Structure 1
């Protein structure tokens, strides 16, 4: 059996190696697509290299032709799992767009420019569309600008597969940031500090908006040169920080894309990211640094779902649809409180009243003094935050791993949120210990923040937003985007464990006010809230306990954008389906919700949006 595994591994290595060098059919052509006006090559007459010869800021890193049957792989591509296989011929172009940010070779702020990957399907396979994919987090995938590696999959698919299978010109960037395998530094938010500790203005600018804008421009140049004509329609898809970048594109460069799909956009980053640390701050201040075990957090979350998930059908859905009316208070629920504290729960997952109150704080969100109203009075699900609610917490029932995670009694904070705290305070020591810069390293000083200091840190982030190249991306005025006839869809899971869905609702209502009302906003921008969906593109559930909610995939939502742009079919609902295909339900355009009309509770036809 062991020899069989060795043989299979050797075969896989051989196949990938062949693919990286052009595959067994490489000799049949020089990379040219004979039906087009340019060749898939970086040199010679009519080559792709000619498209950027006169652009001093653009460097071609690699041009590579893949043929049907080749593995979509370069020499540095991981072999486990095996790379995807090209189902059609496709041409890969890697670019580096300067000027970048010069500096010490080992400093995370040093950059040669913005790395880009652009995938071009064969001419007869091209669907006349371009599709830009904006990555999440701090971006920074080092493989984008590498001649030997490929970017990580976005949207659950290898990026070349979007081009080879669906016929899009596909483009993505690294946001002007890269991790370095040969560096002592990591690849999170460290690059936003210059070596002297000052703000890396170039890095913030590239990440905030320039990388997406330049990606649009370079893709248009390359597409026109390669095919001899421009794309009929251009689209942008981004989730999380990629959704934030999508909003920035609509606000600053409304002419770049015809249609935009943003899911779970992490707009107002200076507030959103630090707010995810509030649960850990509550643990430090109220519980003496002793985390609540995940099993206990999950038990209380399940109790919240059980108390609030019958509003649609009268039966338990396993996820909450209407949070406005969810007033569950674990402090008053004997079923989750330990017997020793006057409750009735005899299991190891019971909680004390102090722990139950801490959980309500995590649900409500940050306040200047650590106080929290009773959920019966204010459950925190506010479109407009009242005085004292600095930011939103997690919706009840949502997994708490991102805001209060721990392992064996040791807090495990979401590291990138500590990065933003350090950046808001302009002091690296507030980050986690893995945060390392020439100006100083992380020392977990976030643990020392009082409630008042946490509130001051959040305010400091707002003040610094202009210096951070307006990374918050929350300008509600989309007048130019609308005037150009562009369309946008935002969809957000109501059980998002990382980005509070209230932030998307709040932005949408502010934008509607700026645009002249909800009806005016809906003419070009529509919001869909997905009950039970977590921080993902319709492939996961965020409710603790493993519910199976009907969700819409990224490709289905992209299809809705395309139909709106190209056929004028504005979506008022999209059918969501459970991952196992056993149930469906309409996902309604905000502010409508699915209401049950009678019949099979698992059939979308039994509901209407009202």
Structure 2
């Protein structure tokens, strides 16, 4: 990992440990100056070359392939501060974009992740976009399209094993290497601190970095990670569609029924956390039964038995005919029903997003050497045999489930995991199981990893609860001054709420407005919910499963 300019990492860690354990006037005199937010006070560094000169740089062997710089242009419009935008390619086809502040760089590097199946290099700070050092334009930053510029339907992977490797893990790592080399050349100084932030597939990329390249980043914010990539984009999304399909091919449940279901869920469970506010603080405590909405006559105020069955199956998740779970239990949490339009159509015949997600993976990524462009969801068999045939071998290099982050911890890295409870794309259960497995594998992970669960937040933002939050500043403070993340405030247009590291939750203190975060305190439940990880693919969450495939003669070799 890059080091602060005046202290080796070992010395800095030792110093912070001393000052945290036994503060003294002598220790304080040697402690790096910090802002009230806990960020190191770093002098701004000016470029040593013009932006135009960057195009002539020869980066040499900074990564495992040839780097071509296509352009370097100063951007001023619509920015908090002007920057030099550098675009180029890491052979064979990783497009990258790097932003280098031209009026003073505060020695931090932030790399952002890419969502979906990527294919475009556009920096997106996401929930880290409210971080002050991001909003004032003083950080250097970069991202990549992860090795392809193809359609987001997966067809780019057909006959292109190197693109599959680059999407899985190589593209993000190689971009970090190139961006740091550009920073060093532009300022004659390496980053003091390097960070990665991403959500959805960007969250998977974040975990992949911690697992495979533990020295790339000092701090990582991994949001709603698509870490269980192969299961998520096959059985999970296919079940969303097929469990709602009648024998004649029609959809059983349509989106106009979702408000009715959501209202019933809130009536049954909203008050469990002590407030009736339209948000479930911990949906796992909700014991809603869709059968309570069933009536025998057609009515807009109730469900048919078939509709209620769909609701139950969507909540519980994919199973085989014997009830064995083909994804972790609770696929969609109670309270998230209004977000289910991702996979519940508004009218018969509509193709929903879940179908496109599943077909993209099943056709071109599930079997890396055998594209199946004519594959249909009806070809997928919900059996244990089909499960392993479908999700392996792609899980061995596309998934980011290795719970042993020992190398990342030993390098001084800090990890902030976060997920919205109302996530309609990726179940929070996957992140909870990963966190639980990490604790079982490593013991006490509190010194380097925290998990935050945001009530009411949908996928990477939005939703019924406060959903705008700064996840990067807490990571920076943890890395730069040793300040462990605690209370984080999430906001919406009308409400702020604190969120605490799992399993602690926020509780109203009984005074003032319930829309003001200042009126809430931390509460750790005495009897904590046990996450149910009894499912067919449980052993995917284990150390040592990851492979390093190679592209040989147009095939992916494991």
1:608–1:40 CA distance, 2 compared to 1 (3 A): same
Counterpart in the other structure of 1:6? none
Q: How far apart, in 2, do the equivalents of 1:522 and 1:427 lie?
A: 37
Q: TM-score, normalised by structure 1?
A: 0.72
The alpha carbon displacement at 1:156 in A equals 7.5
**Per-residue Cα deviation, 1:557-576 (whole angstroms, up to 9, x for no partner):** 11111111111110122122
The alpha carbon displacement at 1:413 in A equals 4.0
Equivalenced residue count is 471
The alpha carbon displacement at 1:594 in A equals 1.8
Counterpart in the other structure of 2:152? 187
Residue 354 of structure 1 aligns to a residue whose secondary structure is: helix
The alpha carbon displacement at 1:606 in A equals 3.1
User: 1:157-196 to 2 correspondence within 5 Å?
Assistant: 165-179=136-150, 186-194=151-159
Counterpart in the other structure of 2:342? 402
Q: How far apart, in 2, do the equivalents of 1:295 and 1:256 lie?
A: 47
C-alpha RMSD of matched pairs (Å): 2.8
Counterpart in the other structure of 1:262? 222
The alpha carbon displacement at 1:465 in A equals 2.6
Counterpart in the other structure of 1:447? 378
Query: Which structure 1 residue ranges, 4+ long, deviate > 6 Å from structure 2?
Result: 156-159, 161-164
**Per-residue Cα deviation, 1:377-405 (whole angstroms, up to 9, x for no partner):** xxxxxxxxxx5353341112312122333
Q: How far apart, in 1, do the equivalents of 2:214 and 2:61 lie?
A: 26
Counterpart in the other structure of 1:41? 52
Counterpart in the other structure of 1:321? 281
For the pair 1:351 / 2:351, whether they are aligned, the reply is no
Counterpart in the other structure of 2:505? 593
Counterpart in the other structure of 1:551? 467
The alpha carbon displacement at 1:351 in A equals 1.8
For the pair 1:412 / 2:344, whether they are aligned, the reply is no
The alpha carbon displacement at 1:133 in A equals 0.5
**Per-residue Cα deviation, 1:185-211 (whole angstroms, up to 9, x for no partner):** x333112221xxxxx431221011111
User: 1:73-472 to 2 correspondence within 5 Å?
Assistant: 85-98=78-91, 100=92, 113-122=93-102, 124-141=103-120, 144=121, 151=122, 153-155=124-126, 165-179=136-150, 186-194=151-159, 200-274=160-234, 275-284=236-245, 288-313=249-274, 315-331=275-291, 333=292, 336-340=293-297, 346-347=299-300, 350-369=302-321, 371=323, 388=325, 390-392=327-329, 393-398=331-336, 399-414=339-354, 415-423=356-364, 426=367, 441-442=373-374, 445-452=376-383, 455-465=384-394, 470-472=397-399
Q: TM-score, normalised by structure 2?
A: 0.78
Q: How far apart, in 2, do the equivalents of 1:162 and 1:350 lie?
A: 51
The alpha carbon displacement at 1:358 in A equals 1.4
Structure 1: stretches of 5+ with no match in the other structure: 1-33, 72-84, 101-112, 145-150, 180-185, 195-199, 372-386, 429-436, 542-546
Residue 410 of structure 1 aligns to a residue whose secondary structure is: coil
Q: How far apart, in 2, do the equivalents of 1:157 and 1:590 lie?
A: 20
Pick which of 414-423 and 124-133 moved more. Answer: 414-423
Counterpart in the other structure of 1:108? none
Q: How far apart, in 1, do the equivalents of 2:503 and 2:440 lie?
A: 14
For the pair 1:482 / 2:373, whether they are aligned, the reply is no
